């Protein structure tokens, strides 16, 4: 746990409460020790910064960890749609792979 980094990020957030990267970094820090607090920041990003595609993968993964696959599925799907709209095919591919794995669609050769 890196409280000094988190404290610094919270100061940055006070200076610019609408900065998507700062919100994302805070969520990432909280994820290490307070998953519910991390989710609050991911949800804020999903609601207020819809085109910040990095959020979708991590938020959906966290919902998977918290035993909420329906919510994770919805977030993966929305993330795939947004990343495609943004032309971010790398993010699209990562989201699609994670979605397929969660849904049991990740076929691998045996």
Q: What is the pLDDT of residues 58-89, one digit of tens each?
A: 999 999 999 999 999 999 999 999 999 999 99
Assign 33 to helix, strand or coil: coil
Task: Please give the domain boundaries of the chain with CATH numbers for all domains.
Answer: 1-49 (no CATH), 50-110 (1.25.40.10)
DSSP string, 71-96: HHHHHHHHHHHHHHHHT-HHHHHHHH
Taking the whole predicted model, whether its pTM rises above 0.85 is answered as yes
CA–CA dist 67, 74 (Å, integer): 14
Query: Is pLDDT at 3 greater than 90 in this prediction?
Result: no
Vertex 78: Cα angle to 28 and 24 (nearest 5): 15
């Amino acid at each position: 746990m890196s409280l000094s980094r988190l404290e610094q990020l919270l100061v940055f957030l006070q200076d610019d409460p609408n900065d998507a990267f700062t919100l994302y970094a805070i969520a990432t820090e909280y994820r290490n020790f307070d998953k519910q607090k991390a989710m609050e920041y991911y949800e804020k990003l999903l609601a207020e910064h819809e085109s910040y595609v990095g959020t979708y993968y991590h938020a959906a993964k966290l919902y998977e960890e918290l035993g909420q696959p329906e919510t994770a599925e919805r977030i993966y799907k929305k993330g795939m749609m947004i990343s495609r709209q943004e032309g971010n095919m790398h993010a699209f591919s990562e989201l699609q792979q994670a979605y397929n794995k969660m849904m049991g669609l990740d076929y691998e050769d045996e």
